[in-house]
Amino acid sequence: MNNSKLKAVVFDMDGLMIDTEPLYKYSFQKTAAGLGFDFEDSFFFRLVGRPDSSCKKMIRDYFGPKFPMEVFWSQWPVVWRGMAESDGIDQKNGLSELLAYLKEQNVPAAIATSSHRDQMSFSLRVSGLSHPFDAVVTGDEITQGKPAPDIYLEAAKRLGVSPSSCAALEDSENGLISAWKAGMYTIMVPDLKVPSDEVRTMAHHVADSLHEVRNILEKHL
């Protein structure tokens, strides 16, 4: 693709714009421990970026038929929301500056998140993020979630631009694969897990922060 013709930016949300992944990890592990199961870090990292349906299937496969999925899935959000409400959710360093820059340059921006719309709205509210995005696609609005490309293709469609004209910003391997399959210009800002060598080959850039992302985009917008 011609990097000089990027016309829009698509943001993942959890772990990329806002610091929610540690809360998810804690709530999953605390809830599972209360039910007598050890939710290891390495397994949690495999779930990051995936939609609920995929997570549920992987958890069932991992723990087996004795795992009380309905109880687990009803309890962990209570733990998560309680922590988020009491402690708040931090925005990632450089986010406000990056969003301000895109607005100044009249570059449209979208969110493509595996979270459902109500969860997304809650997370954005608690984090204090009120930037008016030009399009939003949530995990409950698509058939196949990340790492399938559907959510990024839909984001480009709603923005009215081709996928190849979009930069996609992701923190997770599953999300990066999704954006890469969609044919977007991929920039990864790792959060909890260092990306594998294979996933690194799918990223045009691996950045340390959203501050660095702005510097990258300035060269291609």
Same domain, 180 and 133: yes
Of the residues 30, 64, 87, which one is the last residue of a structural domain? Answer: 87
- pTM comes to 0.91
Cβ contact 21:44 at 8 Å: no
Residues 61 and 144 in one domain: no
pLDDT digits (tens, 9 = 90+) for 84-108: 999 999 999 999 999 999 999 999 9
Decide if pLDDT at 18 tops 80. Answer: yes
- The reply to whether 29 and 133 lie within a common domain is no
Do residues 106 and 157 share a domain? yes
Distance CA 99, CA 83 (A): 26
Together in a domain, 31 and 101: no
Provide the domain limits for residue 103. Answer: 3-19+90-218
Q: Note whether 25 and 121 are same-domain residues.
A: no
158-205 pLDDT per residue, tens: 999 999 999 999 999 999 999 999 999 999 999 988 999 999 999 999
pLDDT(1) > 50: no
CA dihedral 95, 119, 185, 182 (to 10 degrees): 180
For position 4, what pLDDT does the model report? 54
Among residues 41, 68, 87, which one ends one of the domains?
Answer: 87
